[in-house]
Amino acid sequence: FSCTAAVANGQVQQEPFLETTEGTGINITCSHPQIQTNDYIHWYRQLPGRGPEFLMSALTASKEVRAPEGRLWVSADRRWSALWLWRPRRGDAAVYYCALGP
């Protein structure tokens, strides 16, 4: 199945298209070199035919993501983040977004 990434605005950059097989981990990265000190990094996904679904926000370090199961990593300089999905299922095929904001 495929994971598509979309640019929410000019502040972030993502790969346009990623593909994996069911049960094989996938790393979805987001570059945000213009991030401000107080900006949170927000991650969302949009399943086919559905509205956006909030996944996780972070300022620094890394956090576990419960659904879909995985981890959100933030680089030490906060210029990039990555959403790692451990064992994605077909139902996790979606457009994944990152965005910056309060």
- The full set of domain ranges for the chain reads 14-101
Angle formed at CA 97 by CA 81 and CA 67, multiple of 5 degrees: 80
Which CATH entry fits the domain spanning 14-101: 3.40.50.280, 2.60.40.790, 2.60.40.10, 3.20.130.10?
2.60.40.10
Instruction: Write down the pTM of the prediction.
Output: 0.82
pLDDT for position 1:
53
Sorted by sequence, the CB contacts under 8 Å of residue 50 that are 6+ apart come out as none
Distance CA 47, CA 90 (A): 11
Mind listing the pLDDT tens digit for each residue in 46-83? 998 999 999 999 988 788 888 788 999 999 999 999 99
